[in-house]
Amino acid sequence: MSDSSQVDDGWSKSASPWIRLMQKGDPNRELLLDEPMLELCGEVDGLDVLDIGCGEGRFCRMLGKRGARITGIDPTEELIIEAQRRQPEAIYHVAKAEKLPLADACMDLVVSYLSLLDIPDYRVAIKEMKRVLKPGGRCVIANHNGFSTASSKYWARDEHNNKLHWTMDNYLKERPNKVEFAGVSVVNWHRPMSAYLQAFLKAGFALENFDEPAAKPEALAKHESMLSNQRVPLFCTMVWRASGEN
């Protein structure tokens, strides 16, 4: 396994382009993941909700509009400053998921929306999620499927640039990958699905829901990337229930 302490994740330098991207709109979130994630979170009015890896607070604001008492954490100060500016009534911390600045059993719901792959020591972070959840609390996850992060070439294409099939290799080897898009240049971590599942189970969670969201017809008509997702679902969602003991 790679030494995560030696990896510069690139998020501080990428904060400004990330904020611009979220303002412009990300089809994967808006057309594919937002609706199922909100459904999985359920009724949040009056609940204490923690968003781990909240970035500039986009999903925090969505949950806040539904009545949740929001706490967001992210290790990138520039993103937290923007999140607090846009949602002053919420609580935001510059902090790592591996060391949450929160008391035991203080949260009803923990959310990780495409942030697990940004967390170097995800096993410790998952234990921290369990620690801050009230007994019986839930953890709602959206994450990349392991086969998507195991790819370096993504789609194999023919001579006319048509997509043939998805490519991947070294699936079982956990490792950092540099990814670049829309001016963002950061490190994501590849792990096999089994590694995440085992980490949650060992931390004292029980799996209640697992899905690989498919785009609805209206989404398919809006953006070409949704058609690709129907062939290869790059994302999954999970709901984990914390045991009654911390």
Please write the tens of the pLDDT for every residue from 129-182.
999 999 999 999 999 999 999 998 899 999 999 999 999 999 999 999 999 999
CA distance 213 to 81: 32
Which pLDDT band holds residue 57 (cuts at 50, 70, 90)? very high
How far does CA 8 lie from the centroid of its chain? 19
Q: Is the pLDDT of residue 56 over 60?
A: yes
Which pLDDT band holds residue 244 (cuts at 50, 70, 90)? confident
pLDDT digits (tens, 9 = 90+) for 19-41: 999 999 999 999 999 999 999 99
User: For the purposes of burial, counting CB atoms within 10 Å of the CB of 101, is it exposed (0-12), middle (13-18) or buried (19 or more)?
Assistant: exposed
Instruction: Look at residue 4 in the predicted model and tell me its pLDDT.
Output: 43
Q: Is the pLDDT of residue 7 over 60?
A: no
Q: Is the pLDDT of residue 231 over 50?
A: yes
In this prediction, residues 207-217 reach a mean pLDDT of 94
Which pLDDT band holds residue 6 (cuts at 50, 70, 90)? very low
Which pLDDT band holds residue 246 (cuts at 50, 70, 90)? low
Give me the CATH topology for the region 4-142+153-241: Rossmann fold (3.40.50)
Q: Is the pLDDT of residue 197 over 60?
A: yes
Instruction: Look at residue 5 in the predicted model and tell me its pLDDT.
Output: 44
In this prediction, residues 112-119 reach a mean pLDDT of 97
In this prediction, residues 89-107 reach a mean pLDDT of 98
| Whether pTM exceeds 0.85 | yes
Residue 111: CB atoms within 10 Å: 28
Mean of pLDDT over the chain: 94
Tokens found for residue 195: 């590694």
Instruction: Look at residue 219 in the predicted model and tell me its pLDDT.
Output: 87
Among 7-16, 90-99, 109-118, 196-205, name the one with the lowest average pLDDT. 7-16
What residue ranges do the domains of the chain occupy? 4-142+153-241
CA distance 167 to 148: 9
